[in-house]
Structure 1
Amino acid sequence: MSCFPSQWQLHTAARWIRAGGVIAYPTEAVFGLGCNPADRSAVARLLALKDRPYEKGLILIASNRAQLEPWLQPLPETALRRVAKTWPGPTTWLLPSAPDCPSWLTGQHDTLAVRITAHPLVRQLCDILGSAIVSTSANRSGQRPARSVLEVRLRFGTRVDFVLPGALGAERRPSRIRDLASGKTIRE
């Protein structure tokens, strides 16, 4: 399978997301699982595939800041500059969630984990959709993330609706997670 998916494959992935499906796709470091963040049943299905408790919350990734804005409270300009220095790239930020941001995304937190991805395929996918998508590593909770299409298929079989082929980015570890309010790094 090619490392460069066709436009047809990108549009097929987008159609699955719009239809409530769960897809797998390459990210900066590992394969991720994704779905429409506004679709509660798609998110529930993704969490069940991972055996992940919803209380932990999820990450949204986007190709630009506008795709994240509906999910977040407005940030002061100084905070925006701090975050923008790390994007696009492998840094996920915990930012104050919008009052109407669903708990199936935030879990038990008042923040939402968000990132503007540097991965060109995922950026294209978000641009086709015109929105952010859920992004969590393609693995069962506590297990090693998938690093290839074959590993995704071995772990999830046909329970994932579509696998977008492509090369992983250059990162060796999943994104670092930083908390804007405390300044702390949650995951290195």
Structure 2
Amino acid sequence: MLHNKNVIAYPTESMFGLGCDPTSEEAVKKLLYLKNRTVEKGFILVASNFNQIKMYINEYDLSEKQKNKIFLHWPGPFTFLLPAKTNTPYWLTGKFNTIAVRISAHIEIIKLCNTFGKALISTSANISNMTPCITREEVFKYFGKNFPLLNGKIGDEKYPSKIVNIMNGKLIRNV
């Protein structure tokens, strides 16, 4: 499904997510349409390991201290805003010069990224500004009964991942 420029729903650490191939502008446009979301916001990438996201990150702009902080929290429910490489597609960064990335410890995401062979976009399964889906039934209610949904269990996190801007240390989302 993901290799064919499709959007899927899948279980994350705290809710169902929507994801697609981050290198496919066509797939991302489908995702933006489904969520009724603007491209300016950018997206979070989720991966099973650092190698799946390093093509998007300008590591040279990170200090050793910053790298240590990141890897202290990964894998886990922490999303970091990191400096994006200049060739990172605008549909991932939005209006920013950073990229939001997370290395997950959730087995469903690890299996999905490893099977897909790379990182994927991770955004809540909902229409923008509406309640995120916690059940399969809610996913089907929002997106139709035939929407591609990966079977699996949502993790034990009560809230979406914290988002930290590693460049200035600011907490962007602490739900």
Give 3-state SS (helix, strand or coil) of 2:45's partner: strand
* Structure 2 unpaired stretches of 5+: none
Letter in 2 for 1:170: D
Query: Does 2:49 correspond to 1:67?
Result: no
8 A Cα contact 2:82 2:165, kept in partner:
yes
Q: Separation in 1 of the partners of 2:83 and 2:168?
A: 12
After TM superposition, the score normalised by the length of structure 1 is 0.89
1:175 match:
161
CA distance in 2, matches of 1:170, 1:59: 20
Cα distance in 2, alignment partners of residues 177 and 158 from structure 1? 32
Task: Please report how far the alpha carbon of residue 76 of structure 1 lies from its aligned counterpart in structure 2 after TM superposition.
Answer: 3.1
RMSD over aligned Cα atoms: 1.0
SS at match of 2:82: strand
> 1:121, CA displacement in angstroms?
1.1
The aligned amino acid for 1:68 is I
Q: Deviation per CA, 1:70-120, whole angstroms, max 9, x where unpaired?
A: 111113332211101111111100000011000000000000000001110
Contact 2:108–2:153 (Cα < 8 Å) also in 1: no
| Letter paired with 2:89 | P
1:33 to 2, 8, 18: 18
Shift of 1:129: 1.7
Residue 108 of structure 1 pairs with residue 90 of structure 2: no
Q: CA 1:77–1:159 in 2, change beyond 3 Å: closer, same or farther?
A: farther
CA distance in 2, matches of 1:54, 1:147: 25
Kindly tell me the number of residue pairs found equivalent between the two proteins.
172
Aligned to 2:170: 184
Q: Distance in 2 between matches of 1:149 and 1:59?
A: 22
TM normalised by structure 2 equals 0.95
Secondary structure of the equivalent of 2:17? strand
Q: Is the 8 A contact 2:19 2:120 kept in 1?
A: yes
C-alpha separation in 2, matches of 1:159 and 1:39: 22
Q: Which of 41, 47, 51 is the equivalent residue of 1:56? A: 41
| Aligned-partner SS, 1:85 | helix
- Residue in structure 1 matched with residue 6 of structure 2 by the alignment: 21
Structure 1 unaligned residues grouped into runs of 5+: 1-15
Matched, 1:131 2:123: no
Segment of structure 1 superposing worse, 104-113 or 118-127: 118-127
SS at 1:61 equivalent: strand
Q: 2:66, 2:145 → 1: CA distance?
A: 42
- The one-letter code sitting in structure 2 at the alignment partner of 1:114 is V
- Runs of 4+ more than 6 Å apart: none
